[in-house]
Amino acid sequence: MNIGLIAHDNKKTLMQNLCVAYHHILMKHNILATGTTGRRIEEVTNLPIHKLLTGSFGEQQLCAQIDNNNVDMVIFLRDPENTKNTEPSLANVLRHCDLNNIPCATNLATAEMLILGLDRGDLDWRLMYRNDSKNDSNK
């Protein structure tokens, strides 16, 4: 599975801690992350991370990956109290996830549920969905 990770500045340490706690699950999957978030996760986990650009530019790249059906779930740890104009937009990411039927967590509780569900196989339907959309594009 392909997992997209984004975190606002005040939530980057929380994202690192989440990835450390679930390293044993995340290591079985492909991870895409916005630049600074990806670098910080790599520093503490040694997980291979495909790093996108930083901030809102990385958000745009992730949204393009979602639209091309290359992302199976997204964890966007956001800071609802203090966002800067240069930080990724939750509304934009949610819109792309909703349009493409991609599960998205915006806080620690739902992030843990998605990761545990991923480990149980609850998201295996995405593999079939991804293959079907590739077959449709070849017609």
Q: Are 59 and 32 in contact (CB under 8 A)?
A: no
State residue 135's pLDDT score. 55
Are 104 and 74 in contact by the 8 Å Cβ rule? The answer is: yes
106 SS3 class: coil
Helices (H), the chain: 12-21, 23-26, 35-45, 55-67, 90-100, 108-120, 125-137
Sign of the CA dihedral 6, 22, 79, 99?
A: positive
* 3-class secondary structure, 31: strand
Domain boundaries, the chain: 2-137
CATH architecture of the domain 2-137 equals: 3-Layer(aba) Sandwich (3.40)
pLDDT, tens digit (0-9, with 9 covering 90-100), for 8-64: 999 999 999 999 999 999 999 999 999 999 999 999 999 999 999 998 899 999 999
Q: Is the pTM of this model over 0.85?
A: yes
Give the Cα separation of 117 and 131 in Å (integer).
Answer: 20
Tens-digit pLDDT profile for residues 85-115: 666 678 899 999 999 999 999 999 999 999 9
